[in-house]
Amino acid sequence: MQSSDFFESTQNHFDDALPFVLYSKPNTSVVKGVFQENDIVYTSENLTESGFVFSPFDSDKQTVLIPTEQSDSLETSFSVTEDNREAEDKLKSNESEADLNHAKTFHIALVSKAIKTIKENTFKKVVISRKEEVALLESNPIQLFKRLLSQYKTAFVYCWYHPKIGLWLGATPETLLSVTGNRFTTMALAGTQEFKGDANPKWEAKETEEQQLVTDFLVESLEASVTNLSVAKVETIKAGNLLHLKTRVSGLLTSNLKEVVTVLHPTPAVCGLPKVTAKQFILNNENYNREFYSGYLGELNIKEKTTRNTNRRNVENNAYSAVKTISNLYVNLRCMQLTDVKASIYVGGGITKDSIAENEWQETVNKTQTMKKVLF
């Protein structure tokens, strides 16, 4: 489908106030759209349904589903281009300087409290987040989605809308779980520093420890639900203007998808360790509702045809094809929630015993720039 027709159809669907999601997987030029035919709020109870799911940080709350059976699916090829426009000097916060100073003071105090609690051995790590409101100079979500596509080619980029819930956009570098048949991959993603031209920089002890904590959690949590567990070497990845540490974990599932997702979500990269105590600290102390920030989203139980041979000239081997069920779920990082006049940008950082509160504030400031680049 021509991209102009694809985005025109999307705009018409949005104007009719009907639910939809646009998304593009990392390192691809294909944009997919799922367009719900009515405005009912569907939910997934056990992750056995088929469609696109959007789940909040608080796993006790409902997972929203755009179901395959009640939707039309379209796709197009979108050519992304480098976007070098500078946005920082054009941005206008909805918050006054006094409000921003208050936000900084509150965040630093909360991080300090978290560090103290960690040193008391209540938990090993906790993720402290905040949201910042920015005035919208461009309010059309489809145009903002295109900018995200241009700027974050290695991320999972999406625009999700439901008239009874809200409008969200994001460009997340983190996979929660990718499953084809019974083969799965996931990742440990932790540690952050600003990209300054070196794709393989030096990492401090705080970041490497945080990364190891997340990796160990994944391995220990998955052992009862998988076989052939494989842990790759740690690598540095770039997401926008930030660098992170990533470890790929893969294997074969021996239990159902719901059980595995329950074990993984919320991950230590967005919650902490141990998960239950860290999550309770967040809910008791962050003083705002994360909603879908640091939840997960993506394709759920989609049927996909695969062939054994990619050589198109070998017609005989291409006849050996199979339809497999795939799920591709991503952690909802680097995201924002939109209204007609403002964007709420959500950011956070992992806190360990070696964290420095002032540095953690600055890390959230750096992360807001990832989303602010599209708001001009």
At 347 the pLDDT is 94
Q: For 114, how many CA atoms within 13 A lie in the half-sphere containing its CB?
A: 35
At 83 the pLDDT is 46
Q: What percentage of residues in the chain have a pLDDT greater than 70? A: 91
At 214 the pLDDT is 85
Angstrom distance (rounded) from CA 345 to CA 339: 12
Q: What is the mean pLDDT of residues 56-80?
A: 94
Each domain of the chain, given as residue ranges in start order, spans 3-90+97-305+319-372
The torsion angles phi and psi of 115, rounded to 5 degrees, stand at -60, -45
Regarding predicted confidence, which is higher, 79 or 294? Answer: 294
At 244 the pLDDT is 87
* CATH of segment(s) 3-90+97-305+319-372: 3.60.120.10
Angstrom distance (rounded) from CA 239 to CA 171: 9
Q: What is the pLDDT of residues 208-260, one digit of tens each?
A: 888 888 899 889 989 889 999 999 999 998 877 788 899 999 999 999 999 99
pLDDT at 82 over 50: no
pLDDT at 262 over 90: yes
Q: What is the pLDDT of residues 332-375, one digit of tens each?
A: 999 999 988 899 999 999 999 999 999 999 999 988 887 887 88
pTM over 0.75: yes
Q: What is the mean pLDDT of residues 321-332?
A: 91
Q: What is the pLDDT of residues 291-311, one digit of tens each?
A: 999 999 999 999 987 666 556
Average pLDDT value for the chain: 89
* 71-74: Cβ within 8 A, 24+ apart: 71/34, 71/35, 71/36, 71/37, 72/34, 72/35, 72/37, 73/32, 73/33, 73/34, 73/35, 74/1, 74/6, 74/9, 74/32, 74/33, 74/35
At 79 the pLDDT is 80
